[in-house]
């Protein structure tokens, strides 16, 4: 009998140990899953902060002090770094996404606003609004690679999915410059409607969509020919634009009509008008395309839109005057 009891106890002990191992594996898996969830990074230009949002819980998990008047924001392709462009301190703030700590600042010449990074993570392109130039920086050494003269009052930029071209919009000269990243030369100047602001690309890079704030239009550009092939009439003061990962829908944020429009890219028909209640600026999508985040500059918040229903599902309080948003 004593032998049987001992054997039974050994079986129980092994079961408990096995259960603990399984539980540990499950917890490790959950932690990995949680870490894999994308985060949204939002610049608050009025309070000189970067807000970090967990896109699973829709909660702000960190608020990080950065430079003065942060506007543009970008995440490195490997997901390890976030950069904010700070217009009044003339630099970029570099943040570690693992620790959410500031790693340092990078000089970025006068009045940096928009910022993009090449898909291979090797180069940063910074829009210097007052200078009327774009600064190309080596992403590892942070040395200036090139300074590129562009149009009048450049503000934002976007890079094609293949990394070959950077498009820069100009609020005053009402055009878009295409910069070739191999040579850092301007290869095209595209005349669009008045006061172009946001620019985004289709997933295949064949089309660019430019929001023209003053004329209430979106210019559709053939990126091979660098010419406007269609003009879409939208709401008042369009700013940010973005295309879903499947290429089927274009979203446009409006600064005066306080809404985001969803547009069918096949025929340019409006699918939905989503009210946001306040002035909206820039937009970003989660990698799966299921949620759209929009900065509500006039309401100190970020709106989250379900792209399957085109409904605003929540708003998240931010710092003062949220401007740019990037997700990874």
160-198 pLDDT per residue, tens: 999 999 999 999 999 999 999 999 999 999 999 999 999
Average pLDDT over residues 17-38: 49
Structure tokens at 59: 């909660």
Question: To the nearest whole percent, how much of the chain has pLDDT over 70?
Answer: 89
Distance CA 326, CA 294 (A): 10
Q: How far is CA 200 from the centre of its chain?
A: 10
What is the layout of strands, in order, in the sheet containing 217-222? 196-201, 207-212, 217-222, 227-233
The count of other CB atoms within 10 Å of the CB of residue 32 is: 9
Is residue 172 helix, strand or coil?
Answer: coil
Give Cβ neighbours of residue 171 (< 8 Å, ≥ 6 apart).
Answer: 152, 153, 154, 155, 195, 196, 197, 213
Residue 13 has pLDDT above 90, yes or no: no
- Torsion, Cα 142 41 245 176, to 10 degrees, reads -60
180 or 10: whose pLDDT is higher? Answer: 180
pLDDT of residue 18: 52
Structure tokens at 124: 């940063």
Query: What's the angle, vertex CA 324, arms to CA 248 and CA 63, rounded to 5?
Result: 125
Domain boundaries, the chain: 1-36, 38-327
User: Per CATH, which fold does 38-327 belong to?
Assistant: Methylamine Dehydrogenase; Chain H (2.130.10)
pLDDT of residue 2: 43
Local confidence band at 25 (pLDDT 50, 70, 90 cut-offs)? very low
pTM attached to this predicted model:
0.89
Burial level of 54, CB count in 10 A (0-12/13-18/19+)? Answer: middle
pLDDT of residue 19: 52
């Amino acid at each position: 009998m004593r032998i049987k009891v001992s054997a039974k106890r050994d079986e129980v002990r092994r079961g408990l140990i096995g259960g603990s191992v399984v539980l540990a594996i499950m917890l490790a898996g959950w932690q990995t899953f949680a870490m894999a969830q994308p985060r949204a990074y939002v610049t608050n230009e009025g309070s000189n902060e970067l807000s970090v949002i967990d896109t699973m819980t829709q909660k702000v998990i960190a608020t990080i002090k950065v430079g003065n008047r942060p506007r543009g924001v970008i995440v490195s392709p490997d997901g390890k770094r976030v950069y904010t462009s700070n217009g009044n301190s003339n630099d970029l703030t570099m943040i570690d996404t693992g620790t959410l700590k500031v790693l340092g600042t990078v000089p970025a010449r006068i009045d940096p606003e928009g910022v993009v990074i090449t898909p291979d993570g090797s180069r940063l392109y910074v829009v210097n609004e007052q200078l009327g130039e774009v600064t190309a920086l080596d992403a590892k050494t942070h040395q200036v690679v090139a300074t590129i003269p562009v149009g009048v009052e450049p503000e934002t930029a976007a890079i094609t999915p293949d990394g070959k071209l950077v498009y820069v919009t100009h609020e005053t000269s009402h055009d878009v410059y295409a910069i070739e990243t191999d040579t850092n030369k301007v290869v095209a100047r595209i005349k669009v409607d008045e006061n172009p602001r946001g620019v985004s690309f289709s997933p295949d890079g064949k089309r660019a969509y430019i929001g023209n704030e003053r004329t209430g239009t979106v210019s559709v550009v053939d990126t091979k020919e660098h010419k406007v092939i269609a003009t879409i009439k939208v709401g008042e003061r369009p700013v940010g634009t973005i295309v879903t990962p499947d290429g089927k829908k274009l979203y446009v944020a409006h600064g005066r009509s306080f809404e985001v429009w969803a547009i069918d890219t096949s025929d340019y028909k409006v699918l939905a008008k989503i009210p946001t209640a306040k002035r909206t600026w820039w937009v970003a999508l989660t990698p799966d395309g299921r949620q759209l985040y929009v900065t509500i500059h006039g309401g100190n918040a970020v709106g989250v839109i379900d792209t399957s229903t085109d409904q605003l599902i929540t708003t998240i309080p931010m710092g003062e005057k949220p401007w740019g948003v990037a997700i990874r």
